[in-house]
Amino acid sequence: MTSHRYPGAAWLAALLVVTLTGCQTMVQAPSPVSAMGSGTPAATTPASPARVTRPATATPATDAGGELKDLVSAEPVTSQVAQAPQTPEETSVPDLWDRIRRGMALPGIESSLVRTHEVWYASRPDYMGRMTVRAERYLFYIVEEVQRRKLPMELALLPFIESAFNPQAESRARAMGMWQFMPATGRHFDLAQNHFRDERRDVMASTRAALDYLEQLYAEFQDWHLALASYNWGEGNVRRAVRRNANAGKPTTYENLRMPRETRNYVPKLLAFANIVKDPKRFQVALPIIPNHPYFDAVTITRDIDVALVTELARISEEDFRALNPSLKHPVILAAGTPQVLLPWENAALFNTNLAEYQGALASWTVYVTPRNMNTARIARTVGMSDTELRQVNDIPKGRVVRKGSTLLVKRSAKVKRDVSERIAETGQLKLTPIDGTVVNRIRAKAGETVASMAKRLGVSAQSLAKWNRLSTSTRLAKDQRLTVYLPRNYGKRNRR
The full set of domain ranges for the chain reads 92-283, 365-432, 438-495
Instruction: Provide the pLDDT for residue 91.
Output: 55
Q: Say how many residues make up the chain.
A: 497
**pLDDT tens-digit map of 179-192:** 999 999 999 999 99
Alpha carbon distance 433, 205 (integer Å): 31
Reduced 3-state DSSP string for 471-484: CCCCCECCCCCEEE
Among residues 118, 144, 145, 162, the one annotated as catalytic is 162
Amino acid at 349: A
Question: Which one is predicted more confidently, 42 or 91?
Answer: 91
Its pTM stands at: 0.75
In the chain, the N- to C-terminal Cα span, in Å, equals 28
How far is 229 from 270, CA to CA, in rounded Å?
A: 11
**47-97, pLDDT tens digit by residue?**
344 433 333 333 333 333 343 433 333 333 333 333 344 555 555 778 999
CA nearest neighbour of 329 among 235, 393, 270, 241: 393
Sheet holding 400-402, edge to edge: 374-375, 400-402, 432-434
CA atoms of 37 and 293, how far apart (whole Å): 11
485 neighbors 438 (Cβ within 8 angstroms)? no
Identify how many contiguous H helices and E strands the chain contains and give both numbers: 19, 11
Within 30-182, residue ranges assigned H as helices are 88-92, 96-102, 112-122, 125-135, 139-148, 158-163
Angle, helices 224-233 vs 203-221, to 10°: value is 120
Answer yes or no: is pLDDT of 275 > 60: yes
For residue 396, the model assigns a pLDDT of 92
Phi, psi of 409 (to 5 degrees): -80, 130
Report the share of the chain in percent with pLDDT over 90: 68
Of the candidates 399, 411, 484, 470, the residue with the CA atom closest to the CA atom of residue 437: 399
**The CATH number of domain 92-283 is 1.10.530.10:** yes
Q: How confident is the model at residue 14 (pLDDT cuts 50, 70, 90)?
A: very low
Query: What CATH code would you report for 438-495?
Result: 3.10.350
231-250 tens-digit pLDDT:
999 999 999 999 999 999 99
β partners of residue 433: 401
Exposed, middle or buried by CB within 10 Å (0-12, 13-18, 19+), for 59? exposed
- Encode pLDDT of 290-322 as tens digits: 999 999 999 999 999 999 999 999 999 999 999
Local confidence band at 33 (pLDDT 50, 70, 90 cut-offs): very low
CB 378 within 8 A of CB 396: no
Residue 162 bears catalytic tag: yes
CA atoms within 13 Å, Cβ hemisphere of 275: 23
Residue 332 forms beta bridges with which residues?
306
Q: Band of the pLDDT at 487, cuts 50, 70, 90?
A: confident
pLDDT at 233: 97
- Cβ burial of 105 (10 Å; 0-12, 13-18, 19+) is exposed
Amino acid sitting at position 459: G
The band of 207, judged by pLDDT with boundaries at 50, 70 and 90, is: very high
Question: pLDDT, tens digit, for every residue of 123-173?
Answer: 999 999 999 999 999 999 999 999 999 999 999 999 999 999 999 999 888
Residue 206 confidence (pLDDT): 98
For residue 386, the tally of other CB atoms under 10 A from its CB is 12
What local confidence, expressed as pLDDT, does residue 436 receive? 62
Contacts of 377 (CB under 8 A, 6+ apart): 387
Average pLDDT over residues 421-439: 86
Distance CA 19, CA 86 (A): 25
Q: Which long-range contacts (CB under 8 A, 24 or more apart) does 280-286 make?
A: 283/118, 283/121, 283/122, 284/122, 285/121, 285/122, 285/125, 285/128, 286/125
pLDDT value, residue 491:
59
- Determine what percent of the chain is predicted with pLDDT higher than 70: 79
> What distance separates the 2 farthest-apart alpha carbons in the chain?
76
Name the 3-class secondary structure at 386: coil
Q: What is the mean pLDDT of residues 469-481?
A: 87
pLDDT of 55: 35
**Would strands 407-411 and 365-369 be described as parallel, antiparallel, or unpaired?**
antiparallel
Q: What average pLDDT does the segment 462-475 reach?
A: 85
Residue 21 has pLDDT above 70, yes or no: no
